[in-house]
């Protein structure tokens, strides 16, 4: 009985973890776009935020995503100005900016030749 319960628990954990967003999935996803037409990419993802031409006549398409997230915090404190018996609680929030900037380099034939990214939130839940 314990072995069945353990197997069920491990299976559930693996299924849960397989749906998590990761940078590894992000890399696999955009590696799969290399060699494909940029117009297909645009039809699925949408128009880029910016483009610019390179000296080699290729075009770079830039997609940006940025958001600010607030996480509630609570702090307990004792001591301080009023002595060792004074205590208090404070409430606040931690604010984190998450961003990802995706660069797609496209040749004259509209084929994606390479890509790169910058940011602390370049993740994907699906590897394709």
Measure the CA–CA gap between 122 and 120, rounded to whole angstroms. 6
Whether 119 and 96 have beta carbons less than 8 Å apart is answered as no
pLDDT of residue 107: 97
Q: What is the pTM of this model?
A: 0.69
Percent of the chain with pLDDT over 90: 54
Average pLDDT over residues 6-35: 70
Tokens of 29: 């996803």
Band of residue 8 on the pLDDT scale cut at 50, 70, 90: very low
Question: Residue written as tokens 């940029």?
Answer: 38
Query: Residue 108 in 3-state DSSP?
Result: coil
CB burial of residue 107 (10 Å; 0-12, 13-18, 19+): middle
Measure the CA–CA gap between 42 and 23, rounded to whole angstroms. 22
pLDDT of residue 87: 55
Whether 10 and 2 have beta carbons less than 8 Å apart is answered as no
pLDDT of residue 89: 62
**pLDDT, tens digit, 9 for 90 and up, residues 35-93:** 999 999 999 999 999 999 999 999 999 999 998 888 787 766 655 555 555 555 666 77
How many residues does this entry show for the chain? 128
């Amino acid at each position: 009985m314990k072995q069945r319960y353990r197997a069920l628990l491990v299976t559930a954990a693996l299924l849960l973890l397989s749906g998590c967003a990761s940078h590894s999935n992000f890399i696999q996803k955009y590696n799969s776009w290399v060699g494909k037409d940029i117009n297909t990419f645009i039809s699925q993802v949408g128009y880029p935020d910016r483009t610019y031409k390179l000296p080699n006549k290729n075009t770079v398409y830039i997609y940006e995503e940025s958001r600010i997230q607030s996480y509630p915090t609570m702090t307990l404190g004792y001591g301080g100005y009023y002595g060792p018996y004074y205590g208090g609680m404070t409430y606040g929030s931690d604010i984190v900016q998450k961003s990802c900037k995706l660069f797609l380099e496209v040749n004259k034939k509209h084929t994606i030749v390479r890509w790169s990214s910058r940011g602390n939130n370049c993740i994907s839940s699906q590897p394709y």
